[in-house]
Chain A
Amino acid sequence: MSILVCIEGDEGIIKKTSIEAVYYASETGKIIGDEEVIAVALGSYDTAVLENLGNYGATKVIHVNDEKLDKSQIGVYSEIFAELVQTTSANLVIMSKSSFGDNIGGRIAGKTGASIVSNVVALPNVSSEFEVRKSIFTGKAFATVSMPEGLKILLVKRNSVEVNQTDDKAVIEQIPLPNALNFHEKITGSEKAEGDVLLDDAEIVVSGGRGLKGPENWDMIEDLAKALGAATGCSKPVSDQGWRPHHEHVGQTGVKVSPNLYIAIGISGAIQHLAGVNSSKVLVAINIDPDAPFFKAADYGIVGDAFDVVPRLTEKVKSLK
C-alpha cells in the first residue's frame, strides 16, 4: 500500500507546506506500517529538487514534466492526482490545507469516493480506528474525528509537524501528460504579492492595526519586519480602508497564520482577529491601551505608543545582527 502526497509548488520551488505534507506522510507510514510514500509533482521542476523530497521521507516522486501544468489548474490537477490514486493503489492521500489543498483535495474526494478530513493538526492515532485531530471554530477548538475504512484524504494544517531531514534521495519516475484532460479553466494571468517574505510561509509576522493611523506610517512596520526577516500583516479595517492590500489581512475572514512569532501593533485584539493568529507559537501585543483585549491573548506585551516603541525595537534588533 502507498501514501500519495500532492505537491504544491511555485515556479519550480516546492512550498514549505508541501514539504511538511511529505514528512507527515512518511511519519504516518511509520505508524501504519510499511507504506511507500509517493510524492506527485506536476509541471516543471529540476530533478534535484524532486530527489530532495527523499530528505523528508518520500521514497518515490512521480513527475509529470509538462509546461501545461506549470500553473496549478484545479480541474486538471485533480484529475491527474485522482488517476494516480487508482494506479498506485494508494490508501491515503496527504496534502496541505491551503487554497491548493482545499480545491484539489475536495475534488479528489468526490472523484474517488474517499473520505476527507481537512485542517488536520497532528499525526493520526490508529490504535483502534483511524483517528485524526483537526482544528475547528477557526482555531478556537479541536475535534477528534474517526475516518471510515477505505481511501482517506487528509489536508494538513501548516506547522502541524516539526520536520526532520535525512540525506535520503527519492527515486524519480517521469510519466507523460495523460491524454483527454479537460482544461476547463483558463488562467489568464496572475499577480504576485509584494514583499520579500510571504505571509503564509513566514516564521515571523509583524502586523499593524488601525492604531497606526494611516498608510503613511507603515514604513515603521516594514522596517521592523525587514530587520526581523518577517512578513507584514494587518487587521481587517486596515485592508478595508485600502491602507494595505487585501491579502495581508489576518483573521477570521482573512489569512490564518501560525508563525513562531506574531507581533501585533496597534491592533485591539478583536476575537475575529485573534481567530487568525491563535495558533502562533508566541504572541506579542504592542498597544497604548492597557485594557486592549489583545493583552489577554498575548505572551508578551508592551503598553505604549507604537510610534515611540516600534522604532526602538527595530534599532535593537539591528544591533543584535
Chain B
Amino acid sequence: MKILVCITHVPDTTSKIAFTDNNTKFDVSGIQFIIGPYDDYALAKAVELKESNSGNITVLCVGEVNVEPTMRKALAIGADDAIRVNANPTDSVFVAQQIAAIAKEDQYDLILMGRESIDFNSGVVHGIVGSLLDIPSVSPVMKLEIEGETAKMTREIEGGQEFIEVQLPVIAGCQEPIAEWKIANMRGIMSARTKPLKVIEPVACDKITSTLSYEKLPAKGSVKLIPAENAEELIDLLKNEAKVL
C-alpha cells in the first residue's frame, strides 16, 4: 500500500505567540517547531498500516528549508522517503494544489493528513485536494481500517459519530484516537539521516489569499476571586454582573 502523509511544521502547542515587523510577521524567536499534532496522528496511523499491510510511506511538506528537521523527525518515526515543495505555505488552495500535483504524478492508495493545522486552523486542505483529484475526502477521522480496497472509517460529527465506507483511494483528515503518537527510537533517528528527501519547486497557482497583518488575543483582565466560603456568590455575579445566566 502506498501512503502519502502530509505534515505541517508548526509551533509547539505550549508556544507563546508573538508578531514582529509591525505585526506582519510571526515571531519565531524561541519557538520550538513540531509536526502538527493531528499530522502526527496521521503519521502514526500510516506506520501502523504499514506494519500490518506492508507498503511505503512518503511524507510531504510544503515549506521552506527550515522545515527539514521536522521532516527528518517524520522519517525517524517511520516514513520511508520525503518530498518538500519549496515554498512558503501561506494559502490553503496553494498548498492543496502542490499536494494534488504530486499525488497526480504518483498514485497513492491513501493520503493521510491532519484534521487541521494548528497554526492556520483551516481544516480545508484535505477537501480541496480531494476535489482536485476527484477522490473522496473525509475528516475528522477517528478510526480507520483498510479491508481489501475498502476504507472503513469513523468520522466525528457535531453531536456524535458516523460510520463511513469508501473505496480506495481516499484522503482522511486524522484526529485522535486513530492511533497513538509514535516516538522515534534510536534506530529510526539514525536511519532518518540517510532516507531520501527530495526537494521540488511549486506548481504555479494564481488566485491566492494574502495575510496583511496579525494581532494577538487581547490580554485578559485579572481574575475576580470569590472565597470558597461564599461560593454561592459566584452565581449572583454571573447573573447580575457578567449577565451570562
**B118 interface residue (CB < 8 Å to A):** yes
B interface majority secondary structure: mixed
What does the 1/0 interface line of A152-194 toward B look like (CB < 8 Å)? 0001000000000000000000000000000011111111110
- Once A15-B158, A198-B159, A282-B244 are accepted as A-B contacts, the answer to whether A141 and B37 lie under 8 Å apart by CB is no
Contact of B121 among A135, A204, A300 (CB under 8 A): A135
**B98 interface residue (CB < 8 Å to A):** no
Identify the closest chain A residue to B129 (Cβ): A110
Chain A residues lying within 8 Å of B209, measured Cβ to Cβ, are 115-117, 145-148
- Once A74-B136, A146-B212, A198-B158 are accepted as A-B contacts, the answer to whether A137 and B17 lie under 8 Å apart by CB is yes
Closest Cβ of chain A: how far from B92's Cβ, in Å? 6
**B177 interface residue (CB < 8 Å to A):** yes
Closest Cβ of chain A: how far from B64's Cβ, in Å? 19
Closest Cβ of chain B: how far from A296's Cβ, in Å? 7
Chain A residues lying within 8 Å of B88, measured Cβ to Cβ, are none
**A252 interface residue (CB < 8 Å to B):** yes
How distant is the Cα of A305 from the Cα of B164 in the complex, in angstroms? 44
Contact of A302 among B210, B228, B245 (CB under 8 A): B228
Interface residues on B, range: 35 or more
- Once A118-B122, A282-B238, A313-B234 are accepted as A-B contacts, the answer to whether A109 and B211 lie under 8 Å apart by CB is no
**A49 interface residue (CB < 8 Å to B):** no
Task: Contact check, A188 vs B212: say whether CB atoms are below 8 A apart.
Answer: no
Task: Contact check, A74 vs B160: say whether CB atoms are below 8 A apart.
Answer: no
Interface hit among A36-44, A58-66, A96-104: A96-104
Contact of A299 among B161, B167, B220, B231 (CB under 8 A): B220
What does the 1/0 interface line of A301-321 toward B look like (CB < 8 Å)? 111110011001101110010
What does the 1/0 interface line of B21-47 toward A look like (CB < 8 Å)? 000000000000000011000000000
How distant is the Cα of A131 from the Cα of B92 in the complex, in angstroms? 16
What does the 1/0 interface line of B102-143 toward A look like (CB < 8 Å)? 000000000000011011111111111111100011111010
Task: Contact check, B232 vs A271: say whether CB atoms are below 8 A apart.
Answer: no
**B93 interface residue (CB < 8 Å to A):** yes
How distant is the Cα of A75 from the Cα of B244 in the complex, in angstroms? 40
Task: Contact check, A137 vs B225: say whether CB atoms are below 8 A apart.
Answer: no
**B183 interface residue (CB < 8 Å to A):** no
**B11 interface residue (CB < 8 Å to A):** yes
Task: Contact check, A155 vs B242: say whether CB atoms are below 8 A apart.
Answer: no
Interface residues on A, range: 35 or more
How distant is the Cα of A82 from the Cα of B91 in the complex, in angstroms? 21
Most chain B CB neighbours (cut-off 10 Å) among A150, A185, A191? A185
How distant is the Cα of A43 from the Cα of B226 in the complex, in angstroms? 50
Contact of A141 among B115, B177, B217 (CB under 8 A): B217
**B145 interface residue (CB < 8 Å to A):** no
Identify the closest chain B residue to A75 (Cβ): B136
Closest Cβ of chain B: how far from A301's Cβ, in Å? 5
Identify the closest chain A residue to B91 (Cβ): A115
How distant is the Cα of A113 from the Cα of B244 in the complex, in angstroms? 42
How distant is the Cα of A17 from the Cα of B142 in the complex, in angstroms? 23
**A119 interface residue (CB < 8 Å to B):** yes
How distant is the Cα of A139 from the Cα of B181 in the complex, in angstroms? 24
From residue 266 to 321 of chain A, which have CB atoms closer than 8 A to chain B? Answer: 271-272, 275, 278, 281-282, 284-285, 295-305, 308-309, 312-313, 315-317, 320
Task: Contact check, B123 vs A137: say whether CB atoms are below 8 A apart.
Answer: no
Chain B residues lying within 8 Å of A305, measured Cβ to Cβ, are 228
**A213 interface residue (CB < 8 Å to B):** no
Task: Contact check, B159 vs A110: say whether CB atoms are below 8 A apart.
Answer: no
From residue 142 to 179 of chain B, which have CB atoms closer than 8 A to chain A? Answer: 142, 155-167, 173, 175-177
**B54 interface residue (CB < 8 Å to A):** no
Task: Contact check, A111 vs B131: say whether CB atoms are below 8 A apart.
Answer: yes
**A71 interface residue (CB < 8 Å to B):** yes
Chain A residues lying within 8 Å of B244, measured Cβ to Cβ, are 204, 260-261, 281-282
Nearest 5 interchain pairs by C-beta: A106-B127, A304-B228, A110-B131, A106-B124, A102-B123
Question: Which residues does B use to contact A, with CB under 8 Å?
Answer: 11, 13-14, 17, 19, 37-38, 91-93, 96, 100, 115-116, 118-132, 136-140, 142, 155-167, 173, 175-177, 206-217, 220-221, 223-228, 231-232, 234-235, 237-239, 242, 244-245
